[in-house]
Structure 1
Amino acid sequence: MCISAAENWASIMALRALQGFFECAVTPGFLFITGAWYKSKEHADRSLFWQSSEGFFSIVCNLMLYGIARYVEGHGGLAAWRCISLFLGGLTLVGAFASFFILGTPHEVRWLSKEEKRMATARTISNNVGQDTTGKEWKWDQVIEAFKDPQLYFSFANTFLSNIPNGAITTFSSLMYESFGFNSWQSMLYGCPRNAVYVGVFLLVALYTRKVRNQRLWVMLLSAILAFIGILTMSLLPNTPEHKWTKYGMFILTVVFSLSIFLGWSLIPSNVAGKTKNSVISSMTLISYCAGNMAGAQVFQTKDAPRYLPGTIACAACFGVQFVVILLWRFYYMWENRRRDRAAAASGLSMEEQERIGRELGEADVTDMKNPHFRYAM
């Protein structure tokens, strides 16, 4: 809301920096809450469900912002961007108020009885990561282990590579629409169908991952392939009226790349045991998210207008490299699970004993690498 009163570049940048500082807890917080409430097999569809809200509210907000900007243009007064800042800031305050009373882990929320809190916690014991009250103290050995774990580097690389295109496409989506031949007002409206596809795809994939287990990384691979096809086709076609709608359709196709970001994030609460270790890998993933978006915002240069060919080809290259990273990630989990299965078979323990010991180690805040009865979701 304070941005609406900014008078110069320095004040806007200072306020934007504060926004980033406070906003950085949102995504790790959602991942932690998802892990605390749901079983590993439910993490993918729950994460996609809450993330689909971004597309839905983008449609709602785009229409509202379009109306505000149109009204201000015709009636004068405050500049449109100042009115929009006040409006979005007000929505944020409403959301914050609701979140304060609703969100939290099972032991934190106020709307469950003690018995219901025990029931909610009992649901997730089979995840082998303990309860939301497990591992409150910071453990440096888990920090060291996190940086030795290939999961950190797979998650970091996947997030960084997918967010270079995200930073480019999100920041410069209006420029992309204008390069197809739409004016600035049309660009605000023609973003709505893309967001509608975003919501629909996320909900369909959420239903699919609920029905069929261990498909997350395969879906991520498919999303990288489709995004690669969409953005490369869009960049190679000339900006002529006869290709306008084809380029628009290819741009809509690129929306699926977001699946690789959020399905990758959903693997963290499923596969990283140890509260300190989980915090480290979640934080490093968020750092790569921010770094990718920062880098992505630099790939579209004014000198490359109107086709922005170098920027779109750079994004396509990122999707290509990301495909390899995801494939290696999947093979790592397959190899590790098979190795643990062989060790379990050689131990002579029954399945029931393995599950019991795995839960006990999870309750003791033992990490996934040190818990031989932990299995990775894929």
Structure 2
Amino acid sequence: MHQASESLEEKRSMDQKSVDEKVVEATSISSVDFRHGDEALKLIDAEKAVKFSEEYNLKLRRKLDKMIPPLCAAVYFTQYLDKTSLNYASVMGFPITGQHYNLVSMAFYLGFLAFEFPTTYFAQKTRVAKYLGANVIIWGILLMLHSVGMCESCVAPILILIISMFYKKNEQARRISWFYFMNGLTHIFGGFVAFGVSHYDGRRLAPWKIIYILLGALAIVVGICVMIWLPDSPVHATGLTKEERIAALERVRDGQGGTENKELKTYQMKEALLDIRTWLIILTSLLTSIPNGGISNFSNLIIKSFGYTSKQTLILSTPGGAVAALTTLFCGWYADRKNERAIPVIFALLPTILGAALLIGFNNTGQKGVLLFAIYLSNSFGTALSTVYAYLASNTSGHTKRSTISALTLVAFSVGNIVGTEIFQPKDAPGYIPGKIAIMILLSVQLGVSLLLRWINVRLNKKKIAAVEDMKRKKGWTDEDVQRERNKHAFADLTDKEWVIFQFVHTHPMVTNMLSFNRNPYFLYTA
């Protein structure tokens, strides 16, 4: 076991060691250079936690809920609506068809992919909400020129970061589901808007061009609102009093996730790359995003192939949005209620697997009702990404590490969507059977990946709990002593691997019996 005099740099040299060795050895970080700590240390004392009453914290949370989730939801609503504008345009006289349409679908994600790492770096060096707002305004302008991928690449990482800075771990999945819920609403809203616009005869401007102008203008308005009202962090939340900002930081101190840090720490990047769970998250994002790239761009063409007109297609696409929205809300609620992340992913995948099977089995039968039901079911899988975002917010500490994993996850998202735009080939129209089979296989594999990820977190939790108990025995510490150490290091910008008391939340019986989720001396990974 390392001595208390060991420096932090010596601790970082353990990057090459296995996870199990680090869990055992990283048990006494008692010397931390707080000059490299969190932005939160500008407002609060690292050593001494300030206690606020439960009534005060509930009142503060209600205030945060009025300030943060609505703006996050507006951003995500605008992003997804803009991103699926091509889907509406495809049945509104859009002049590009066939393989060229696939390439246009791909173009968005190429911009997303190219800018994901640069935008993560810029976001860490700037005020994140202001950077987000500026990107939203720019993408609104670019949308009118139909080129939005570059500016949208910062959305998910920044929204995840903001939620993780303001909310406890057992509150994060639900709040993330609130803004991801907008994906479903966009299907409904966008379908009705496109239906209305489609009745215009196009004498002055083609209907599909009107869609881009309307949605681009909406994005500009949302971007201005974000720049004015969305807080960058609890430290810089101008909508809160100083006391409320301190209380907001104290609310999340127990979570050990920290808030923000402007220093780019290469050892945290390295740790992220050496963590097997990072690559499993990347894999699950990829497996979800390939179907997304196909369905989000081709679902209206598939519905039209059932024998409907363009106008009927725009209206009939809207119930799929309700399925997506309700699935997202349920999985977000379940994830926080049960302190789970992997199981909600499975809930989201199963209906889509069933839907794809029905689309294959009933192809060319003319049974429109069954085929529509199947395409509506296929909208559930997107919720898996919402749960992945909640996983990132809950299970990663260290600002650079979290930003790195978020960026890699969004790279997987963009790569998957690029591949997805090619799974529905023009030669396979109108049935697109190979694409539907691919969706079934990919999501079935993802079921196994999700269960593997959960098993790893459960295993890590057991090892970390054992390591903390061993530390308590050797040092003669009580639970109160451990809690004191947690408070002291909460905003030191340590990673979940550096600091043994940072552990992973799940509902394994061992943990349920030992600990209370809201007040315990451990940080647990969410399974």
Regarding TM over 0.5, the answer is yes
Structure 2 CA distance for aligned equivalents of residues 144 and 215 of structure 1: 27
Alpha-carbon shift at residue 27 of structure 1 (Å):
0.7
Q: Is the 8 A contact 2:166 2:249 kept in 1?
A: yes
Q: Aligned match of 2:189 in 51, 60, 68?
A: 60
Task: Report the counterpart of residue 223 of structure 1 in structure 2.
Answer: 348
Structure 2 CA distance for aligned equivalents of residues 18 and 66 of structure 1: 23
Q: Aligned match of 1:281 in 405, 430, 443?
A: 405
Task: Report the counterpart of residue 432 of structure 2 in structure 1.
Answer: 308
SS state of the match for residue 199, structure 2? helix
SS state of the match for residue 110, structure 1? coil
SS state of the match for residue 124, structure 1? helix
Q: Is the 8 A contact 2:332 2:387 kept in 1?
A: no
Q: Aligned match of 1:141 in 247, 267, 276?
A: 267
Q: Aligned match of 2:444 in 320, 324, 336?
A: 320
Alpha-carbon shift at residue 83 of structure 1 (Å):
1.1
Structure 1 CA distance for aligned equivalents of residues 484 and 311 of structure 2: 60
Structure 1 CA distance for aligned equivalents of residues 330 and 444 of structure 2: 24
User: Are 2:357 and 1:232 equivalent residues in the alignment?
Assistant: yes
Task: Report the counterpart of residue 123 of structure 1 in structure 2.
Answer: 251
Task: Report the counterpart of residue 280 of structure 2 in structure 1.
Answer: 154
Structure 1 CA distance for aligned equivalents of residues 470 and 499 of structure 2: 16
Alpha-carbon shift at residue 268 of structure 1 (Å):
0.7
- The aligned runs of 1:338-377 (5 Å cut-off) are 338-348=462-472, 349-375=477-503, 376-377=525-526
Alpha-carbon shift at residue 353 of structure 1 (Å):
2.4
Q: Deviations over 1:81-112 (max 9, x none)?
A: 11111111110011111111121222233211
Task: Report the counterpart of residue 22 of structure 1 in structure 2.
Answer: 151
Q: Aligned match of 1:206 in 329, 332, 341?
A: 332
Alpha-carbon shift at residue 357 of structure 1 (Å):
1.9
- The aligned runs of 1:4-153 (5 Å cut-off) are 19-71=148-200, 73=201, 76-104=203-231, 105-132=233-260, 135-153=261-279
Amino acid at match of 2:351: L
User: Are 2:375 and 1:251 equivalent residues in the alignment?
Assistant: yes
Alpha-carbon shift at residue 197 of structure 1 (Å):
1.9
- Structure 1 residues 291 and 359: alpha-carbon distance in aligned structure 2, compared to 1, 3 A threshold: farther
Q: Deviations over 1:319-371 (max 9, x none)?
A: 01111110110001000000111112222233332233233333111100111
Structure 2 CA distance for aligned equivalents of residues 96 and 334 of structure 1: 40
Structure 2 CA distance for aligned equivalents of residues 357 and 80 of structure 1: 62
Moved more, 147-156 or 51-60: 51-60
Q: Is the 8 A contact 2:352 2:379 kept in 1?
A: yes
Moved more, 171-180 or 101-110: 101-110
Structure 1 CA distance for aligned equivalents of residues 441 and 487 of structure 2: 42
Q: Is the 8 A contact 2:165 2:252 kept in 1?
A: yes
Amino acid at match of 2:230: L
Give the root-mean-square deviation of aligned CA atoms.
2.3
Alpha-carbon shift at residue 151 of structure 1 (Å):
2.2
SS state of the match for residue 28, structure 1? helix
Structure 2 CA distance for aligned equivalents of residues 240 and 171 of structure 1: 24
Alpha-carbon shift at residue 213 of structure 1 (Å):
2.4
Moved more, 199-208 or 226-235: 199-208
SS state of the match for residue 70, structure 1? coil
User: Are 2:460 and 1:331 equivalent residues in the alignment?
Assistant: no
Structure 2 CA distance for aligned equivalents of residues 204 and 332 of structure 1: 25
Task: Report the counterpart of residue 417 of structure 2 in structure 1.
Answer: 293
Structure 2 CA distance for aligned equivalents of residues 364 and 29 of structure 1: 21
- Structure 1 residues 352 and 131: alpha-carbon distance in aligned structure 2, compared to 1, 3 A threshold: farther
Q: Is the 8 A contact 1:101 1:110 kept in 2?
A: no
Unaligned runs of 5+ residues in structure 1 are: none
Q: Deviations over 1:208-250 (max 9, x none)?
A: 334x222221111232223212212212222222x22112112
Q: Which structure has the highest helix share of the two? A: 1
Structure 2 CA distance for aligned equivalents of residues 162 and 120 of structure 1: 34
Q: Deviations over 1:163-196 (max 9, x none)?
A: 1011111110111102222222211111111101
Amino acid at match of 1:94: V
Alpha-carbon shift at residue 307 of structure 1 (Å):
1.1
Alpha-carbon shift at residue 205 of structure 1 (Å):
2.8
Task: Report the counterpart of residue 165 of structure 1 in structure 2.
Answer: 291
Q: Aligned match of 2:305 in 179, 182, 185?
A: 179
- The aligned runs of 1:261-280 (5 Å cut-off) are 261-280=385-404
Task: Report the counterpart of residue 510 of structure 2 in structure 1.
Answer: none
Rg: which structure is higher? 2
Alpha-carbon shift at residue 313 of structure 1 (Å):
0.3
Identity among equivalent pairs (%): 29
Structure 2 CA distance for aligned equivalents of residues 309 and 368 of structure 1: 44
Moved more, 323-332 or 105-114: 105-114
Q: Is the 8 A contact 1:45 1:207 kept in 2?
A: yes
Q: Deviations over 1:44-90 (max 9, x none)?
A: 1110011102222331222112211212x2x6211111111111111
Q: Is the 8 A contact 1:273 1:362 kept in 2?
A: no
- Structure 1 residues 258 and 356: alpha-carbon distance in aligned structure 2, compared to 1, 3 A threshold: farther
SS state of the match for residue 430, structure 2? coil
Amino acid at match of 1:58: H
The number of equivalent residue pairs is 368
Q: Deviations over 1:113-135 (max 9, x none)?
A: 11111111111111112233xx3
Alpha-carbon shift at residue 18 of structure 1 (Å):
5.2
Structure 2 CA distance for aligned equivalents of residues 251 and 70 of structure 1: 25
Unaligned runs of 5+ residues in structure 2 are: 1-81, 90-94, 112-141, 504-524
Q: Is the 8 A contact 2:351 2:380 kept in 1?
A: yes
